Amino acid sequence: MTRPDAGAATYERWERWALLGVLFLGAATRTCQLDWGLPYELHPDEPGYLRCALRLAEEGGTDTHLFSRSHMITSLNRLAIGLVDWTTDPPGNLPRDRLTLWFLSSPRPFYLAARGMTVALALVTLLVLHRFGRRMGGPVAGLVAAGLVAVHPLHVEQSRLVVPDVHLLLAMSCALSLAHRYLTGGRTSSLLWSFAWVGVAAGAKYNGASVTLAPALALLLEFPRIGGRRAIALGTAGCALAATGFALANPYAVLHPKLAYIGFSYQMRLAAEAHFWAAPVSALREYATVLGPDLGLVGALGAVFAVVRPGSGSRAQHLPTIAFGAAFFCYMASRPLHYPRYILPVVPVLALFCGLLVARVAARSKHAHVKCATTLLLLAVLAVRGVAEYVASTTVRGREDTRVRASVWARSALPMGAGVATEPRAVQIPSRSAFEAAGMDPSCREAALAEWGGRAYDVTVPWNLGERTLAEYRAMGVRYLFLADWTWDRIRSREGYARQLANLAETLEAARPTVTFEPRDEAGRATDGPVIRVYELPAQ
């Protein structure tokens, strides 16, 4: 009877503990400051997704009224809302079935539940990447890939918000992993499941359909072996499963195809307007800053080595993952808008090839303890920038945001019922019209407003303050303007905003500056948020 290798047993035990450590690190970094900004809504996209789910849960039906976006996140948010309804009680004497009024008066539990669900999906993504990397290059590759994503600032930031990017990343990772598994001797079911996850990715976010490249390329690479008829049959079945996955992830678009098409076309039309232009050089510079030289260069080097020197596997098994990562990066670099979160799907691809390269370096060590030490050292070197950025951003986010300070000042300094014009998320104060629309019962409104000090205002929120003229603001009874510097900069930097710029210049010329909130605290330390200036409009 052969005696088991003590070194191998030690290495397996080390791998299990290391994976638990990665998951613990991922959970710790994402649950820290999970209540960021609350009860104020500081992120521009979170309220839209959550209020869609609230409307559906309260009114029933399947019309989300927001078909310009994909809605897998809405289904999951409805589960989070159900959890809040089951575990907590509404404030005051608010009725339990008035979810929108409950949310307006006390949004904290709803945001915490929805953000917690995003964190859970992020941890599942780490497990998927560990399995994927383990199949690519062994235990070291899997641990390094999961570890790098666990501390990457971009993934950590998106995991703490109610936005669909983490949902998209999980579905894409599953599709890529299953396509790779099919090419490494897996069953045909792996390829079919990969197509199904493509549909789920598109249901999470419309651009998730781009991951179709991975299973399609895997099928093309296997075409000489399986033959034409079988390839056509698999492709047809894969398309059917992709459609099924999309329908399950985003049933609202399937039930309202015309509205979904109109919403999707609207998004595409916005991107094609004259004042949006592609700037690939700027995109490369911005995305290179986000990815960093550690993840970007080492990951690209690992991908090159995977093709040039495939090791024990074949070149073909890595091609779908490499092709998707390169194609997605080039596509996003050609787009007119370059938000860092747009490049998030490239992060796990680069992390996987970083893990593959580290595994090959560690494999040169024959002893298990030396291999463990080498792996930890290389992982620490690769992750040091991400950890440093996480610590810095967490420190800054822990200080009071300028939008929070502006909101607190408004609720204490402005007269009750004053007319206020503000941009989305520039300042958070109770809107009298919003409470009236949510619940007509005066006792309910007073109970909801009690959470905000009993003060409500006539709030108007145009897309930006330049959308209205000075005469229109006066006719609406607006007395105070809250202007964030990012909108002013955006209007001045685009050729298509001449009308808005003229309107805003006329309004500010007649207004009197009242107070300015800088992104610095009393000690002079940096804080989050834009520069916010408050203006008072004189009576006509």
Q: Does an H or E element contain 484, and which?
A: strand 480-484
Q: Cα(118)–Cα(31) distance, rounded to whole angstroms? A: 10
Within a domain: residue 86? no
Q: Cα(516)–Cα(533) distance, rounded to whole angstroms? A: 4
Phi-psi sector, 477: left (phi>0), alpha (psi -120 to 50), beta: left
Highest mean pLDDT among 90-104, 230-244, 462-476, 497-511: 230-244
Nearest residue to 167 via CA among 193, 196, 202: 202
Total domain count, the chain: 2
Q: Is 244 helix (H, G, I), strand (E, B) or coil?
A: helix
Within a domain: residue 47? no
- pLDDT tens string 134-149: 998 888 889 889 988 9
Within a domain: residue 269? yes
Please provide residue 460's backbone torsions phi and psi, each rounded to the nearest 5 degrees: -115, 135
Q: Cα(21)–Cα(34) distance, rounded to whole angstroms? A: 20
Nearest residue to 368 via CA among 3, 8, 16: 8
Is 419 found in the same domain as 375?
no
Residue 535 β-bridge partners: 481, 513
DSSP category for residue 367: S
- What is the band of 266 on the pLDDT scale with cuts at 50, 70, 90? low
DSSP category for residue 528: S
- pLDDT tens string 106-117: 788 889 999 999
Within a domain: residue 415? yes
Query: In whole angstroms, how large is the CA radius of gyration of the chain?
Result: 26
**Residue 381 CA to chain centroid, in angstroms?**
26
| Terminal Cα distance for the chain, rounded | 98
Helix, strand, coil shares of the chain, percent, nearest 5, are: 70, 5, 25
Q: Cα(304)–Cα(444) distance, rounded to whole angstroms? A: 63
Within a domain: residue 373? yes
Extract the tokens encoding 284: 């490369």
pLDDT greater at residue 454 or residue 325: 325
Look at residue 271 in the predicted model and tell me its pLDDT.
56
Residue 458 β-bridge partners: 419
Contact yes or no for 446/386 (Cβ under 8 A): no
Burial of 466 (0-12, 13-18, 19+ CB in 10 A): buried
DSSP category for residue 424: T
DSSP category for residue 513: E
Is 290 found in the same domain as 431?
no
Is 393 found in the same domain as 406?
no
Alpha helices of 184-212 — where are they, by DSSP H? 188-204
Percentage with pLDDT > 70 across the chain: 74
Stretch 434-460: mean pLDDT = 58
Taken in order 529, 530, 531, 533, the sign of the CA dihedral is: negative
Q: Cα(435)–Cα(439) distance, rounded to whole angstroms? A: 6
Nearest residue to 161 via CA among 217, 116, 204: 116
- What is the band of 275 on the pLDDT scale with cuts at 50, 70, 90? very low
Out of 397, 425, 440, pick the residue that ends a domain.
397
Is 373 found in the same domain as 358?
yes
Is 141 found in the same domain as 274?
yes
Q: Cα(232)–Cα(242) distance, rounded to whole angstroms? A: 15
Please provide residue 526's backbone torsions phi and psi, each rounded to the nearest 5 degrees: -65, 145
- pLDDT tens string 332-376: 776 655 677 888 888 999 999 988 888 887 777 666 666 666 666
DSSP category for residue 482: E
Is 357 found in the same domain as 344?
yes
Whether residue 276 is predicted with pLDDT greater than 70 in this model: the reply is no
Look at residue 237 in the predicted model and tell me its pLDDT.
93
Phi-psi sector, 65: left (phi>0), alpha (psi -120 to 50), beta: left
Contact yes or no for 149/350 (Cβ under 8 A): no
- pLDDT tens string 168-177: 999 999 999 9
Look at residue 168 in the predicted model and tell me its pLDDT.
92
Asked which of 129-133, 251-255, 318-322, 515-519 is least confident by mean pLDDT, the reply is 251-255
DSSP category for residue 320: H
Residues 6+ apart with CB under 8 A from 370: none
Q: Does an H or E element contain 347, and which?
A: helix 346-362
Q: Cα(292)–Cα(131) distance, rounded to whole angstroms? A: 25
Q: Is 463 helix (H, G, I), strand (E, B) or coil?
A: coil
Is 296 found in the same domain as 209?
yes
Q: Cα(329)–Cα(346) distance, rounded to whole angstroms? A: 7
Within a domain: residue 14? no
Within a domain: residue 379? yes
Q: Does an H or E element contain 532, and which?
A: strand 532-536
Q: Range of 460's domain?
A: 402-536
Q: What is the 3-class SS of 30-97, one letter each residue?
A: HHCCCCCCCCCCCCCCHHHHHHHHHHHHHHCCCCCCCCCCCCHHHHHHHHHHHHHHHHCCCCCCCCCC
| Full-model pTM | 0.83
Is 384 found in the same domain as 413?
no
Residues 6+ apart with CB under 8 A from 23: 123, 126, 127, 150
Is 425 found in the same domain as 371?
no
Out of 397, 427, 455, pick the residue that ends a domain.
397
Is 455 found in the same domain as 315?
no
Look at residue 212 in the predicted model and tell me its pLDDT.
92
Nearest residue to 146 via CA among 26, 291, 306: 26
Is 416 found in the same domain as 362?
no
Residue 306 to residues 74, 100, 316, 521, Cα–Cα distance (Å)? 39, 52, 10, 49
Out of 346, 365, 397, pick the residue that ends a domain.
397
Q: Cα(467)–Cα(507) distance, rounded to whole angstroms? A: 11
CB-side exposure of 183: number of CA atoms within 13 Å? 29
Look at residue 1 in the predicted model and tell me its pLDDT.
37
Contact yes or no for 495/277 (Cβ under 8 A): no
Is 319 found in the same domain as 292?
yes
Within 10 Å of residue 262's Cβ, how many Cβ atoms? 12
Within a domain: residue 235? yes
